[in-house]
Amino acid sequence: MSIDAPLFHRLSGQPGELPDIVLESGGLGSSDDWRHVESLLAAHTRVLVYDRAGMGNSPADKAGFGASAVTARLTALLDRLQWDRPVLLVGYSLGGLYARHFAACHPQRIAGLALVDATPVAHVFPAAAMRRAQRVIVLLHWFVRLTPNGLLQRLFGGKTDPARFRRQLKQLGASDYLRRMRAELGAMTGVQADVGRIAARPAHPVLAILAGTKPKQMTDAEFAHMQTLHRELAGVLPAPLSRTVAVAAADHGSLLGAPINAAEVAEYILAFARSLPRT
């Protein structure tokens, strides 16, 4: 397995009494997605956020997007940074599956898991919905490639940080973006299977942070089922170490993107970090 390509990463904050925190992005996401949460956490402890190989600013390698490859790369990154005390690993969406896999492979390196509206092992992605999502991404990719950046900034970038908006456009419009997108989405069911096999019952305290508002494309029954799967995961270990909380005003997409929701997510993570046994 080739994992030699360097991973883009960013460090903030200082080590202290709380565990160091590692942030794992969602599917097709990047370290930029954590900007609001990261700054709030870094006021209290040391924080590492990075881009998985093939996403954001990290180059792809031959090892692909399987759970074992992602775990091996994060292990190598932590070793290079000489982070040797147990961390609080936070995974959003698909990143929650990768976080659970890492924790199962390296239990001694984990103080706790915070799963932010994380993809459950038992969730089935409807084929029609996946095709629709991919069509939308393809259209966005070509729209970005064929539209001048200045026009895109005027049309859509008025409510976001200009530098971040330019980085997002660069990533979405990259010539190999569609290939990388299909590769990560195509790996999801395999990642679910791997996590279900080795990490169905987490051995660490778990905080499940749920989005309290149903996405428009999801039925009430599907949303209720997802909430049940999240609560079952956090219920594996007894309170007070494991718990489930919800950000009532947030849907899946706005949990990290809206500053007010991100602030609530950060407060839940910090409260959980304070509850963990000191190492």
Domain CATH number, residue 232: 3.40.50.1820
In a domain, 50, yes or no: yes
Q: Report pLDDT for 155.
A: 66
How far is the C-alpha of 268 from the C-alpha of 54, rounded, in Å?
30
Listed residue (62, 45, 60, 57) closest to 11, CA to CA: 45
**Contacts for 260-269 with beta carbons within 8 Å, 24 or more apart?**
262/36, 262/37, 262/40, 263/36, 263/40, 265/37, 265/116, 265/209, 266/36, 266/37, 266/40, 266/41, 267/40, 268/114, 268/207, 268/209, 269/21, 269/37, 269/41, 269/88, 269/90, 269/114, 269/207, 269/209
Tell me whether residue 121 is in a domain: yes
Tell me what pLDDT residue 258 has: 92
The structural domain count of the chain equals 1
Rounded CA separation 171/43 (Å): 29
DSSP 240: T
Q: How many CA within 13 A on the CB side of residue 221? A: 0
What are the phi and psi torsion angles at 157 (to 5°)?
-100, 10
Neighbours of 201 (CB within 10 A): 8
**106 falls within a domain:** yes
Q: Is residue 241 part of a domain?
A: yes
**What would the mean pLDDT of 223-239 be, rounded to a whole number?**
73
* Neighbouring residues of 236: CB distance < 8 A, sequence distance ≥ 6: 201, 202, 206, 242
Pairwise pLDDT comparison (169 vs 254), residue with the higher score: 254
Per-residue pLDDT reduced to its tens digit, 86-132: 999 999 999 999 999 999 999 999 999 999 999 988 877 777 877 88
Q: What local confidence, expressed as pLDDT, does residue 237 receive?
A: 57
Q: Does residue 205 sit within a domain?
A: yes
Residue 146 is assigned to a structural domain of this protein = no
Residue 165, domain member (yes or no) = no
Contact criterion met (CB below 8 Å) for 60 and 54: yes
Calculate what percentage of the chain has a pLDDT beyond 70.
91
- What's the rounded Cα separation, in Å, for the pair 213 and 182? 28
Distance CA 90, CA 113 (A): 6
Tens digits of residue pLDDT in 132-166: 888 988 998 898 888 887 777 776 766 667 777 78
Domain encompassing residue 205? 9-125+188-275
Q: Are 34 and 269 in contact (CB under 8 A)?
A: no
Distances (CA, A) of 94 to 2, 103, 121, 274: 22, 15, 10, 25
Residue 58 counted as domain residue: yes
Question: Under DSSP, is residue 207 helix (H, G, I), strand (E, B) or coil?
Answer: strand
